[in-house]
Every structure is written in C-alpha cells, then in structure tokens.
Structure 1
C-alpha cells in the first residue's frame, strides 16, 4: 500500500524568495513610521544587503545591531512600524529574518497591509536620525490618520523562531491576490528583527499609461515573471527583469557550462558559434503587447557572457500556460514567433536591438530568451505597447511554479 503524504511542510527555501523584494530600499521602499528606534532604526529592515554582526561594537544606547530593535517596553502596548513599498503589487510571501538577534529578537509578529492612494496619505514628519528615540506625540497623531490598526491581516500573530543564529529566516507565504502599497509590521511586545523581505510581483495601473510611450512589458515591477527555464546554476532568470541596473554578476541569470560543447569550437559564416545546445528562459509579460525594442545587457559578464541570443514570442491563455509548465515548455514550434534572430553578443555591454515586430506588429503574452551555448545575462528589457488582448485572460493568474534544483543558490 502506498504511503499517503503527511501534513505538507514548507521547503527550506520557498519559491517566492526568487521574486523581487518589494520593500527594499534599492527599489524605493521607505520607512514612514516606527513607534520606537531605541537600539537600532527601522530603516535597517529594508536594507538590500544581508544583516551583519559586529561582536564588540556598542553605541551610547547599547549593543550595535544591524536591524530594527526597540527598547524593552515598560509601558502598555506593543511596537510597530509602517513601510511604503517601493514596488506596489501582489505579495507572495514574507521573510522575517532575525539573524544575529540571539537574545533580543521579537518573540511574535504580525503583518497587515493596505492599498492606499496618494490623496489618503498625510504629510508625515521626516524621520531623520532615529537611534535612541521613540515616536513623538505629533508623529503618533499624524500616523493615526491612516487607521493602520484596521488594515487587512496577511500574517496573523505568529511566533518567530531562532534557527541558525547567523542565518535565521522565518518564511510566511501569502495567498492574497490584492494589490498592496503599504504594510504594517507589528512586533509583540518589543525586540528586534534584522530584515523584512516582502516578496512579490508588481502590478501597474495600465489604464493610466501614456499610449504613445513604450514601456518595459516584462519588468517584474509591472508584473512580469519567469514561468520556466532550462538551467539556473548561479542566478535565477527573474533577476534579469529586476529594477534598475545589475549591481554585480550575482544580480543576473547565470547558467552552468554546457557539457555538450564540442572539444574544438568553430564559427559559422556570420561569426555565430556552432554548438548543439542552448539555455532558455520563458517569461509571462506584465501585460500582453507588441514588442518594438529589445535590450539584452551583459553588464559585469566579461568572461562568461553568451556567444549569442535570440528571442521568440507567443500568445497563451492561462490554461495553456498551466499546460506548458507541466510539460516543461515543450511548446510546438509553430506557436513561437521570432522577435529577434540569433544575434552575436559582446561582454559587459548593453545591446539595443530592434524587434522584428516593428514590421509584423504581433501581440504576444509570453517571451522566450534563448542563449547559446551558456553564460550569463544581467538584464532583459522588452519595450513596447500594451494591447487590449488582456481581456482574453482572467483577472487572477495561476500561482507561480518553479522547478528548483538541489544546490540552487538564489541571488536576490
């Protein structure tokens, strides 16, 4: 008799951590308010780098900590802060990282969220240098206008658990399909959290866009997402559609060296390497549309850039995408429309390329970047114009699914 699976446990590294951190300071996240910043300010929560620890460093207020840490509470209530997301959209999960907070982490927390328009935001005092301070009566009065205690709960009160002191993550998946702009982090009653990562995908107000201005339809900030790939040895393809320029090789898509490369490499008459294999990544656009310009950036990739790349597009319904994910993207060849033929690439360079759809004007919902034989790309931009074909697809999209191989190292 077959054994039935027991209660499902979350993997050590859930899929959602491959998405963008919507609250990070690197994408415009901002701390609007915190009840207390005595030992360390809340701004540390949204730093883009990993938390560090300096064993013998102290400030005039106590032990130096790389995170948000409040004083030991001696009055009624609990501590909380409000974060404005740098990228507004759908949240897939949280990581409450309490690394290095061995005897002073917050024992419990909850997270609430709201979708606020600019006219609902009150003018809040600039926070400035906060270490050693608590919120003033004026700040408390101003923040009360947002009525954040009534925001929707995405994570109810839960206990935080300390694992490896130097790498202690608490992951919380989110199933909400709503668009969020702000979150409220509650800690009970006080203590510290090193980093709060808010993973998800952007959701843009497409109705308000200028129809004459081309937009990057694949960027993760507008809802683009990788839905399949052949190899991701050192960096996930979602990195390519991230915000801003790549900071390093770790901020791009990097594959392993293919083992089917010929012992001696040769070129064809166009200078393209003659190799049997390739690597690929498929993206669902944030909005269906016509791609007019393609950017393939190999910044930082000097000795491991691909020899060449090509780009294809297609139209898929939600159900067809689901089927392709199950079939590992074994899509019939006639479905793909060429957007860019095999094009030679150079190291450490942003390649600006015209799409073939300048003539064909083909609308697509998905794009496939193919690189040969292997290597790394830091950024992919697909600029064009959104199309009303989006009405063919339901509002709610399927949850993302990744096939993460053992040993995969997500570069976030």
Structure 2
C-alpha cells in the first residue's frame, strides 16, 4: 500500500497545482485501457488545455464533450481507466476537474497507483481512440496482466462535487514518497436506495378527495385529482423498463401511478415551462399504464415502448391521489435523436501533479 492515503480535500487550490502534470499528453501520458468510451473517449482526460464546451457540435452518439463520459451503468461493476504517466515521479496530488459538468458528473471516484520499471512493463496492445464503444474481452484480458485491482490506493472512494464554477476542481493531496508510473482512475455510479422518507418525493394530502372512496371495475381508486412531475432525460432514448420504489412509504404511498413520455426540442421545452406544462394530449405517449402500487416495495415494470420503439426526451410521472415515492428509474437505450436538443455539460478532466526526486 501507499505510505498513506489522501488526507482530505482543501478549500482552495493547494501548492501542488503549480507542479508539472505527469499524466498530461504534453509529456507523453497516455490511456492504456478504459472500460467504456460511449459518449467521449478517456483520452480527453489528459488534454493539456482546460475543458471547453462547443454548444452546437455533435457526434453520432450525442453531444460532443471535452472529457471522458461513459454510458449509464446498467451492469454489475463500475467504470475505470488506466493511465500510463508520461514521466515517472512522486505524486503530490490529484485534480479531478468536473468543470461545467453539473448533472452527469461521476458521483464518486477512487484512485490507485503502481510503479513498473520500464523494461518490466507487460505488453499492452496500443489502444485506438474511439467513441461509442466499450472494452472488448481481448482488451480486458490484456489489461488484466497489470493486476490493477491490487494497486496501492492513493485516494479512497470519495464523493465528487458537481462542476459549478466555484467547485469544479476536486483536489486530493497525497503524502506518499513512492515513485509511480501508472494510475488507475475508478468512477462509480450514483445508483442507490433511499435512506429515509426524506430522501424521496412526497406530496401533501389532497383535500379534494370524496368522503367515501370507491374503486372502478379494475380496482383503481376513483378520485378526482392527482400529482405529477415532468423530467428531462439525461439522454434521449427508448425506455424498456421502469422502476418505482416506495421504500419507507408504508402508510403514505400512492394508490396508483402512470408514466408518459414525449419528445421535445429545446425551444418546445422552454415554451412548456412558460405554459406550466399544459402540453396537448396527443404529445404524450404512454410508457406505463395506470398501475396499482404497494407500500414500501420496489416495483419493476416493463415499459410499453419495446413494441412501439418510441424515442422520448421527457417523461411525466403521475401519482394518484397523493403520497410518496423514494425512487423512479427509467431504463433503456440512448438514441442519436439527441441532435435535436443540445446538452450543456462537458465531462471531467483529470491531472496528476507531482514533485521530482533529485535523480529523476
């Protein structure tokens, strides 16, 4: 293990930010492996320039982003990449930069390191810079020779801040005096269960319900009102599965719910906000019909879209008559229809700052 793990973030740029970035492409740093490069390749992490945002530039996979961005994790594990430093050296700290990236930043990160003598490094096939792809079985097999799972931990799993101007740089000082040649950056998804009723959405009790409640022929409660919320998806796509979790809501979960979807351009969304989402009925397409909910339970439901193959950009979640839901997840496949709607957030940048031994 390293001499010591990180000692915590600091409030302002530490001294190590003035040192040379050993991972930069400018000094020969390169990506040896990345689990996924669907939206933007990991090579962007090592650019010498600050992150930039080009409002109207797209790739066939979506909005062009000046950073590393993987697809949403829907399989076990987490995403990670291996960096070969351009210069071996003593690492004084890390700067994980999430500039402009406020909605889709990696919630957590950890960093490991190893040192290989130049003549003892395992042969890793040269990686091609690509977008829209994941690592192949052959690439996983090749990188396994480095046994990076067992590398020293320099930064334990730690939450990252969103990329607001005042907080986009996540600094991690390192006190280890060892020399390092390779870095493994791990990013972890933010999928988790609710911690309590406060960690969810709960509406007030509706006062317009009839004094005596009745069901219709399908067992659905007959009430005049409902509560709803509209979401813009992180990426346009086809929804195939819907998860609705009423965990902790035991006596105050909704009686039923439904989910609808539609596709809107940026201008249409702005118009709808001004109109308080008084959207014409024909715009909404059903993703989930009216469905009874149980208290304190995870509901995993198939969407109607596998047959319809409808791409959506927005979803409307309606609960009847009121109550609380801890989590709503809409799972599916992204689509290049995102060209209709620009995104606003580039991905994060990563740098390694180091001091040098006298004999380096």
Using the size of structure 2 for normalisation, the TM-score is: 0.52
- The answer to whether the 8 Å contact 2:103/2:162 transfers is no
Structure 1 residues 33 and 166 mapped into 2: Cα distance closer, same or farther (>3 Å)?
farther
Extract unaligned runs of 5+ from structure 2: 1-7, 191-233, 235-345
1:35 maps to: 35
Alignment of 1:149 with 2:149, yes or no, is: yes
Structure 1 residues 11 and 129 mapped into 2: Cα distance closer, same or farther (>3 Å)?
closer
Structure 1 residues 159 and 169 mapped into 2: Cα distance closer, same or farther (>3 Å)?
same
Alignment of 1:201 with 2:352, yes or no, is: no
2:335 maps to: none
- The answer to whether the 8 Å contact 2:161/2:167 transfers is no
Q: How does 1:61-210 map to 2 (within 5 A)?
A: 61-165=61-165, 168-189=168-189, 193-203=347-357, 206=359
Question: How many angstroms does 1:60 deviate by?
Answer: 0.9
- The answer to whether the 8 Å contact 2:40/2:65 transfers is yes
Deviations 1:151-183 (A, max 9, x none): 000000000002525871100000101111100
What is the RMSD computed on CA atoms of the aligned residues? 2.1
- The answer to whether the 8 Å contact 1:88/1:203 transfers is no
Deviations 1:354-380 (A, max 9, x none): xxxxxxxxxxxxxxxxxxxxxxxxxxx
Structure 1 residues 166 and 19 mapped into 2: Cα distance closer, same or farther (>3 Å)?
same
Matched residues in 2 for 1:89 and 1:118: separation?
13
Question: How many angstroms does 1:119 deviate by?
Answer: 4.1
Matched residues in 2 for 1:9 and 1:199: separation?
15
2:52 maps to: 52
Structure 1 residues 92 and 20 mapped into 2: Cα distance closer, same or farther (>3 Å)?
same
Question: How many angstroms does 1:120 deviate by?
Answer: 3.7
Counting matched residue pairs gives 199
Structure 1 residues 203 and 9 mapped into 2: Cα distance closer, same or farther (>3 Å)?
closer
2:217 maps to: none
Structure 1 residues 54 and 19 mapped into 2: Cα distance closer, same or farther (>3 Å)?
same
Matched residues in 2 for 1:122 and 1:172: separation?
29
Question: How many angstroms does 1:193 deviate by?
Answer: 4.7
Q: How does 1:365-404 map to 2 (within 5 A)?
A: none
Matched residues in 1 for 2:100 and 2:164: separation?
9
Matched residues in 2 for 1:129 and 1:84: separation?
15
Matched residues in 2 for 1:63 and 1:9: separation?
31
**Partner SS for 1:69:** coil
Question: How many angstroms does 1:94 deviate by?
Answer: 0.4
Matched residues in 1 for 2:182 and 2:357: separation?
14
**Partner SS for 2:143:** helix
Higher relative contact order (CA 8 A, sep 6+): 2
Structure 1 residues 58 and 185 mapped into 2: Cα distance closer, same or farther (>3 Å)?
same
Deviations 1:335-391 (A, max 9, x none): xxxxxxxxxxxxxxxxxxxxxxxxxxxxxxxxxxxxxxxxxxxxxxxxxxxxxxxxx
Question: How many angstroms does 1:110 deviate by?
Answer: 0.1
